[in-house]
Amino acid sequence: MFRLTVHGDDRIARIEPGIYGHFTEHIGGVFYDGIWVGEDSPVPNIRGLRLGLIEKLKAIGAPVIRWPGGCFAETYDWRDGIGPREDRPTRINWWQSYDGRYEPNSVGTHEFVDFCRLAGAEPYIAANITSLTPLAIRDWIDYCNSPAGSTTLARERERNGSAEPFNVRYWGVGNETWGGGGNMTGETYAHEFRRYAVIMKNACRDIELICSGANHSDWHWANDVLRVLEPSLKKMDGLSLHFYCGSAGNPLSFTEEEWYRQLRQALDISRAIDRNWGFVVGYGMEKYARLVIDEWGCWHPAGSGPSVHMKEYGIDPAPNNPDCVGNLFEQQSTMRDGIVAAATLNLFNNNAEKIRMAAVAQLVNNLHSLFLAGGDRLITTPTYHVFDMMKYHMGGEALRVSGDTGEIRREKYSVPNLSVSASVREGVLSVTLANLSVTEAAGVSLELSGLIPEREAEIFMLTAGDPHACNTYDEPEKVCLSRSTVSFDGSLTVPAFSALTARIRLRTPKI
């Protein structure tokens, strides 16, 4: 039995809803055949956007969506994606050298903002500072945010269908500037950031700028960048961090050892959070800038997703490349990916004071996706269900949880038996527990300190008969969320390789 205490009087911080955000790039099947099916498609759509996906995204309260990349952003010119679709140019996509697909620009700023609005999310645009000038980015901000009729670009936006401004609040100043985004040193990027940031902020007061941050366990990048940014300028509102926890074995047929290794790799994100946050605090920026973990997730070898069978149902993923058999980077997601997601989101909740936003990579037909889609088929993955189960934490006050979370030891590493986080919102306590053991159920005794619970708890449970379980086009509901109401006496059982969120109404909410 694991004894845990939720401390009603020990508040960490508000959990920014943006922590539960998403990432969409023009890569493989994320947009084309994923989110975008086209207005003339027999697949149900709203203005070309896949309706089923929008409805499901809305159901989990998607707060923010990042776009257009990723690496795609490094060579993206926003002007290619506006105006009549039939007149838009076809370009070399950043990923074309990998999969032979060209970029038709059917999705541009209008379509992306439309997608966000339909899903109820805020748009977050990653600006290309690698191959566009500060003036071109200034113009993009002008096009998106200037009041109706005010500027030439606002009038162009109106001619293209939107008199009202898009009011895009979040802007990334580059993407992975240590890699595809310019191959810069931290110091060089910091000077570029200063140059772009002053022009971007000057173009619109109501925007927040995200500084391109470190990769995984690069402990130097944040230091190299932040020491050149003048803290008193206050131009940086968020420092990004990319953390892919890689793969351990085959995404579908991993061993027990690989289960734990994958989880260990995922949990190491907490070291990256602490290190990068340490630099933000060390340079005195914590009052106005927090972390933005805008790409995170598992990165398994490609080839396990359903699009490897695309040609069998009449879709050619890349007519220019006969070797391309499916969507670039597309992978299946099992219960293991779902538990990685639950443990990662628990860590984000427990570090709520440090994190402004986050985006799991990527939304559909790619790495660690919530959806797999092709033609008229659309399924959700275990990760989708984790976001569904944990949506109640968004906007809540994160509470400290103490106690025994156990330890599972393997030769070189260990993972806790349990991952946990708790928050209160509108008089309801939400506690998420993920059992990281792949063999043993976990009995939990939950003490609520300073909180008086009602007698009943609503339990959302994600469990399956096998840790390798996943949803497929043939079995779309093999892994799904169950909901039950139980009488609550503080004891809960979490089956092996499973997660649950317990929601308990409080009689005398202190928060």
Find the binder of ligand AHR among 280, 343, 361, 420 (CB under 6 A): 361
Query: Which residue reads 């944990």 in tokens?
Result: 390
Q: Which residue lies nearer to ligand AHR by CB, 276 or 362?
A: 362
176 is known as an active-site residue? yes
Cα–Cα distance for residue pair 37/307, rounded to 1 Å: 15
Amino acid at 202: N
Find the binder of ligand AHR among 15, 54, 64, 71 (CB under 6 A): 71
What token pair was written down for 449?
A: 């300190």
Q: What angle do CA 71, 144, 157 make, to 5 degrees?
A: 115
Alpha-helical regions (H) of 354-503: 382-390
Residue from 219, 195, 207 nearest 272 by CA: 219
Residue 363: DSSP 8-state: S
Query: Which residue reads 């300190």 in tokens?
Result: 449
Beta-bridge mates of residue 5: 402, 447
What token pair was written down for 472?
A: 């497929």
Find the binder of ligand AHR among 367, 422, 434, 442 (CB under 6 A): 367
What token pair was written down for 236?
A: 């940086």
Q: Which residue lies nearer to ligand AHR by CB, 367 or 424?
A: 367
Q: Which residue is nearest to ligand AHR (CB)?
A: 70
What token pair was written down for 273?
A: 């959070």
Which helix (H) or strand (E) is 396 found in, with range?
A: none
Q: Which span (66-74, 232-240, 254-262, 276-284) binds ligand AHR, by CB under 6 A?
A: 66-74
Of 176, 192, 208, 397, the active-site residue reads: 176
295 is known as an active-site residue? yes
Find the binder of ligand AHR among 69, 213, 238, 453 (CB under 6 A): 69
Find the binder of ligand AHR among 349, 351, 362, 437 (CB under 6 A): 362
Residue from 310, 311, 298, 322 nearest 381 by CA: 298
Within 13 Å, how many C-alpha atoms sit on residue 74's CB side?
Answer: 18
C-alpha distances (whole Å) from 317 to each of 96, 99, 117, 324, 326 are 12, 9, 28, 7, 6
Q: Which residue lies nearer to ligand AHR by CB, 106 or 130?
A: 130
Q: Which residue lies nearer to ligand AHR by CB, 25 or 111?
A: 25
Is residue 213 a contact point for ligand AHR (CB under 6 A)?
A: no
Cα–Cα distance for residue pair 356/290, rounded to 1 Å: 5
Residue 92: DSSP 8-state: E
Q: Which residue lies nearer to ligand AHR by CB, 210 or 459?
A: 210
Q: Which residue lies nearer to ligand AHR by CB, 223 or 365?
A: 365
Q: In the chain, what are the helix, strand and coil shares in percent, each to the nearest 5?
A: 30, 30, 45
Q: Which residue lies nearer to ligand AHR by CB, 216 or 227?
A: 216
Is residue 419 a contact point for ligand AHR (CB under 6 A)?
A: no
Give the footprint of ligand AHR on residues 162-191 (CB under 6 A): 175-176
**Smallest distance from ligand AHR to CB 214, Å:** 12
Is residue 295 a contact point for ligand AHR (CB under 6 A)?
A: yes
Of 103, 208, 295, 330, the active-site residue reads: 295
Residue from 472, 450, 230 nearest 334 by CA: 472
Q: Which span (68-76, 133-141, 200-208, 496-504) binds ligand AHR, by CB under 6 A?
A: 68-76
**Smallest distance from ligand AHR to CB 383, Å:** 15
Residue 36: DSSP 8-state: B
Residue 307: DSSP 8-state: G
Q: Which span (69-77, 85-93, 436-444, 480-488) binds ligand AHR, by CB under 6 A?
A: 69-77
Cα–Cα distance for residue pair 110/175, rounded to 1 Å: 21
Count of residues that interact with ligand AHR, criterion CB under 6 A: 10
Q: Which span (43-51, 67-75, 130-138, 330-338) binds ligand AHR, by CB under 6 A?
A: 67-75
Q: How many CB atoms lie within 10 A of CB 458?
A: 17
Q: Which residue lies nearer to ligand AHR by CB, 71 or 448?
A: 71
Q: Which span (257-265, 277-285, 360-368, 468-476) binds ligand AHR, by CB under 6 A?
A: 360-368
Q: Which residue lies nearer to ligand AHR by CB, 358 or 367?
A: 367
Q: Which span (52-60, 258-266, 348-356, 361-369) binds ligand AHR, by CB under 6 A?
A: 361-369
Find the binder of ligand AHR among 70, 165, 251, 396 (CB under 6 A): 70
Give the footprint of ligand AHR on residues 6-65 (CB under 6 A): 25
Phi, psi of 510 (to 5 degrees): -85, -20
C-alpha distances (whole Å) from 409 to each of 199, 338, 417, 494 are 52, 21, 10, 20
**Smallest distance from ligand AHR to CB 176, Å:** 5
Q: Catalytic amino acids?
A: 176, 295
Binding site for ligand AHR (CB under 6 A): 25, 69-71, 175-176, 295, 361-362, 367
